[in-house]
Amino acid sequence: MAEAKTLLRALAGETLPTPPIWIMRQAGRYLPEYRETRAQAGDFLSLCYNSDLATEVTLQPIRRYGFDAAILFADILLVPQALGADLWFVTGEGPRLSTITRQAEFDALKPAAEIHETLSPIYQTVRNLSGELPGDVALIGFAGAPWTVATYMIAGQGTPDQGPAHALKDENRPLFEALLERLTEATIEYLSAQIDAGAECVKLFDSWAGSLQGADFEAYATAPARRIIAELKSRHDNVPVIAFPRQAGAAYTGFHAATGADCVALDESVTPEWAAANVQVNGCVQGNLANTHMVTGGEALVTETRRIVEAFSGGPHVFNLGHGITPDADPDNVQRMIDAVRGG
């Protein structure tokens, strides 16, 4: 039998001599080949729904760098679109959606079971990739966590403090909770279909988890993740799951046990030494180099990369950035980081 892929070994709890490495947004605008394919597709959403071109951009960073894992090229906001929300991207600004702040807008959304028609090109991308990826590269599927996706659906765009979502939570909790419930069901459906199509593990992106405090963090970040993970694991033979409650801070401690996640992804606001002592003791961790090093490079990039590898060397670890690589990153710095991880 072929040796298991390094990403899957780390997610299973194995301490490896060299951590597997991939980076968030590895297929993205910092790469000239991505910009070229995106231009060919016309715009970002057309690229997401074009299975052949989405397959191509997913493979680009694998060819260029030899990462240990590929992440499906898609977006967390395709789920609201599949539920019936309008979605478009404004160049230089980001996503825009029709808003959900009133009962009638919520009532117009489709049931979770009806998302698959819109999302079928995404499942085709997953099938393409599972046939085309090199044998040692793992395929990661993903979705946004319900809270993070809800923040965009409620505000109709990205917000610095998720203010509109907090306001709806406080002013109309039944409607807010109904939206989270619909998103929880849709996320289970979506990830389950990705796994059926060939995703070997999945990642749940809760990019705005850090703005939930106390009981809200438990109710709207931890509880939905626990339910999604339990359901996926029961349907798909214990499939490994990476959870990313970004900016969770002290709440990273115990997140493995509270949700059943195999791996907890860390942003750069926690030190690797703290996270090794408080989070990695409970299971695999992923992270957590500041993405700014991909812009600034230099000796600090190498020093910080080595520090993270060293701090997490006593347990299961997947090397990654603390957040997605930005369009202004230098592709050469990505290679320097990989060399530093792999002992160069």
38 is catalytic: yes
Q: How far apart are CA 267 and CA 275, in angstroms?
A: 10
Whether residue 336 lies in the annotated active site: no
Give CA angle at 82 (217, 51), nearest 5°: 110
Using the rule CB under 6 A, is 106 a contact of ligand CP3? Answer: no
What are the φ/ψ torsions at residue 313 (nearest 5 degrees)? -70, -15
For residue 97, the cross-strand partners are: 87
d(CA 21, CA 305): 12
Instruction: Rule CB under 6 A: say whether 142 interacts with ligand CP3.
Output: yes
Minimum CB separation of residue 137 from ligand CP3 in Å reads 14
Rule CB under 6 A: is residue 27 a binding residue for ligand CP3? yes
Residues contacting 162, CB < 8 A, separation 6+: 151, 155, 208, 211
Query: Applying CB under 6 A, does 141 fall inside the site for ligand CP3?
Result: no
3 state DSSP class of 158: coil
Binding ligand CP3 (rule: CB under 6 A), the pick from 7, 21, 59, 71 is: 71
Of the residues 5, 25, 227, 317, which one makes contact with ligand CP3 according to CB under 6 A: 25
77 forms part of the interface with ligand CP3 (CB under 6 A): yes
Examine the residue annotation and report whether 30 is marked as an active-site residue of this protein: no
Cα 236 from chain centroid (whole Å): 19
Q: Are strands 317-321 and 284-289 parallel, antiparallel or unpaired?
A: parallel
Identify whether 330 is a catalytic site residue: no
Decide if residue 210 touches ligand CP3 (CB under 6 A).
no
324 binds ligand CP3 (CB under 6 A): yes
Sign, Cα dihedral of 302, 209, 236, 45: negative
71 burial level (CB within 10 Å; 0-12, 13-18, 19+): buried
Which residue's CB is nearer to ligand CP3, number 73 or number 220?
73
N-terminal to C-terminal alpha carbon distance within the chain: 30
**Contact status: 28 vs ligand CP3 (CB under 6 A):** yes
30, 34, 38, 49: which one is catalytic?
38
Does the footprint of ligand CP3 cover residue 95 (CB under 6 A)? yes
**Residue 287 is a binding residue for ligand CP3 (CB under 6 A):** no
User: Has 328 been annotated as catalytic?
Assistant: no
Token pair, residue 4, equals: 């298991």
Residue 172 DSSP one-character state: -
| Selected catalytic residue, list 34, 65, 123, 152 | 152
Site string for ligand CP3, 29-68 (x = CB under 6 A): x--------x-----x------------------------
* Interface ranges with ligand CP3 (CB under 6 A): 24-29, 38, 44, 71, 73, 75-77, 94-95, 142, 144, 158, 205, 207, 324
**Residues forming the active site:** 25, 29, 38, 75, 152
